[in-house]
Copies of this chain bind each other. A is one copy, B any other.
Amino acid sequence: MKWKRSERLVDMTQYLMEHPHKLIPLTFFASLYESAKSSISEDLTIVKETFEERGRGLLVTVPGAAGGVKFIPTMTNEDVKVVAKDLMEQLSKAERLLPGGYLYMTDLLGNPTLMNKVGKVFASAFANEKIDAIMTVATKGIPIAHAIARHLNVPVVVVRRDSKVTEGPTVSINYVSGSARRIQTMVLSKRSMEKGQRVLITDDFMKVGGTINGMKSLLEEFNCELAGIAVLVEAEHEGEQLVDEYLSLVKLHEVNEKSGTIALTEGNYFVKGGSLDEGSINN
């Protein structure tokens, strides 16, 4: 089949979207579409301009024999604000209130469209970091971790509360869980990470930061480095904060069971980091 430019553009867009953060040699597309490298170059310029004009991502060109193009999914801060606003609106509904001042969030974590956006939000903020894996703790952080991982093209590592026979040998640590100050355990399969990897930790909810601190201790046991921390919702609280360097999309200030009010603001995402633009991207 002989490919027309219009068909190449459609197929190329699809291919790039399914292979983010992956260097693709121009010769790959040239042979896939049986087209000259110069035509492929022109196609990619159109794709690049469209992606960047619309703030949907960057197309980075790496020159040289080992070069190619790399699609970096990004979101404009404006689009991130829309996601944060939507999340705040949903979270502020009184019917989410559970006894003890907890908020029901399970439906949001089960919404693949929202998770896809949240994944892109954080993948965008960490697009410029060297990241080898995303770590989270079972169960609720898993959809967020996978969404980020898909946009960064790296594996997900899931920490568990208990060890399972299907995990093989594990490393376990004890940590002090947040407000209740209870000693808890978390375990991770020895096979899941290699020494020296740079890891982005993520979770759906953070208060004092005990769980995230536990994951940081695990990183030390594996001789891995912390590349960043991304939380969907952080909660204001009195007393010590165990974790400083994190990015949050939304901040929960107050939950009043009596009046049924839930007070939320944007998280520190827009203050601390935010999305990348083309100027700030490294390869």
- Residues of A participating in the B interface, judged by any CB pair closer than 8 Å: 1, 5-7, 9-11, 13-14, 17-19, 46-47, 49-51, 53-54, 56, 98-100, 102-107, 110-113, 115-116, 138-140, 142-143, 146-147, 149-150, 153-158, 160, 165-168, 189, 191-192
Q: Are A112's CB and B6's CB within 8 A?
A: no
Q: Are B143's CB and A100's CB within 8 A?
A: no
List residues of chain B with CB within 8 A of the CB of A155: 107, 110-112
> Per a CB cutoff under 8 Å, which of B5, B116, B168 touches A150?
B116
Consensus secondary structure, chain A interface: helix
Quick one: closest B residue to A167, CB to CB?
Answer: B106
Distance of A58 from chain B, by nearest CB (Å): 13
Measured CA separation A9–B49 after assembly (Å):
13
> Could you list 21 A-B pairs, sorted by A, with CB under 8 Å?
A1-B53, A5-B6, A9-B9, A9-B10, A10-B13, A11-B54, A11-B56, A13-B13, A14-B51, A98-B165, A98-B166, A103-B166, A104-B166, A106-B158, A106-B167, A110-B155, A111-B155, A115-B146, A115-B150, A116-B150, A139-B158
Distance of A207 from chain B, by nearest CB (Å): 12
Known A-B contacts: A11-B50, A11-B56, A14-B17. Give 10 more (CB < 8 A).
A10-B10, A11-B54, A13-B17, A102-B165, A104-B166, A110-B156, A110-B157, A139-B158, A140-B166, A143-B156
Distance of A119 from chain B, by nearest CB (Å): 9
